[in-house]
Amino acid sequence: MSLAGDVCVVTGACGFLGERLVRMLLEEERLSEIRLLDRNIRPDLTHALKDSLGETKLSVFEGDIRDSELLKRACRGASVVFHTASLIDVIGAIDPSELFGVNVKGTQLLLETCVQESVSSFIYTSSIEVAGPNVRGDPIIGGNEETQYVCCLKFPYSQSKKEAEQLCLRAHGEVLGNGARLATCVLRPMYIYGEGCRFTLGHMRDGIRNGDVLLRISRREAKVNPVYVGNAAFGHLQAARALKAPQRRAAVGGNFYYISDDTPPISYSDFNHAVLAPLGFGIQTRPVLPFPILYLMAFLMELLQAVLRPFLKFTPPMNRQLLVMLNTSFSFSYQKAHRDMGYTPRHDWEEARQRTTDWLASVLPRERERVSVK
């Protein structure tokens, strides 16, 4: 089902995934209008998009996701909302009240606005981290939406994404202002990589500082299945198309889906090496210290953070949940998304890896200069 003639809102439109989704919408759908909603709209992005607009109108809504008046203006007359906006924090650098304010309260306000303004479809970008791994590091290999797993989320970011996800699923079927009903869908992408990924960029910088040798932060056997950003964006597009198709709307609405692709299972550290090895980067054979010692160090740093919190902001570079996540096999299939919404990865591993490496090569000289200045 095509989205031709629709008015689409993309929150977080200038983010890593949001920008890729906007470009895909412009390339593949004859939209009436696409509305970019972001806290900071990049002029370079809006300028670059003008060549792809065709007959599609491009509108900009700059501001905070918690601004109810902004949301009303952005959603009025829209038919679908892609909610990709989120604060991402895996090391505890952001105050939890801010995380929950943006990720949970912002999502709640947006859902309420969609009901008031009769927006019929709502796609929420969740995270693999709402599934785990748990504190014991119990693995999941090739899991799916039916996989049972005991998980108690302790990290504020994971908690905020889980709460927002639940809000979205509970909102499915709410009566809209025009008498129709809202259809919601939640997508849980794996770790998203590709051109523009700030996490891969950060690992490259660390490698430059370490003499072009990447730090090993995960064990080889702790395999996950990252997803390429182009495939993650396509999963969102297919979700919107499915929610618009009467025969699929009932099956997809109110459900969550794992979005992965055919990137081979690999540890986080070995993934970084796979995309950076063609640029001359090596990788440590083993972690600097055994996992139990690293876990104890992370615990002690968390204690220090708690003691200093009233007097000084201290953000440890590692915490126990992040350490467990990086060292636990945790992979999921996209077969339910394939069955229900027709999602099949657009880009295979070789193409995705080459595109990522080419982007890293383009920014490498700048990053070397930046690291040398520091």
Give the pLDDT of residue 90.
87
Residues 253-295 pLDDT 10s: 999 999 999 999 999 999 999 999 999 999 999 988 899 999 9
Give the per-residue pLDDT at 49. 81
Could you give the CA distance from residue 281 to residue 201 in angstroms, rounded to a whole number?
Answer: 13
- 323 within 8 A of 298, measured Cβ to Cβ: yes
In sequence order, the β-bridge partners of residue 330 are 140, 224
Catalytic residues: 157
Instruction: Give me the pLDDT at residue 207, please.
Output: 96
Contacts of 62 by beta carbon, 8 Å cutoff, 6+ apart:
37, 38, 39, 40, 41
Q: What is the pLDDT of residue 43?
A: 84
Q: What is the pLDDT of residue 171?
A: 97
The pLDDT score that the predictor gives to residue 374 is 62
First to last CA, the chain: 52
pLDDT means over runs of 10, the chain (374 residues): 92 96 93 94 80 83 96 97 95 90 97 97 96 92 95 86 97 95 97 96 95 95 97 98 92 97 96 98 92 93 87 86 94 98 97 98 94 74
Beta bridge partners of 58: 34
- Assess contact for 6 and 31: CB atoms under 8 A: yes
Q: What domains appear along the chain, each with residue ranges and CATH number?
A: 7-137+144-197+226-264+331-350 (3.40.50.720)
CA dihedral 5, 11, 13, 15 (to 10 degrees): -150
Phi then psi for residue 202, to 5 deg, are: -65, -40
Q: What is the largest CA-CA distance in the chain?
A: 62
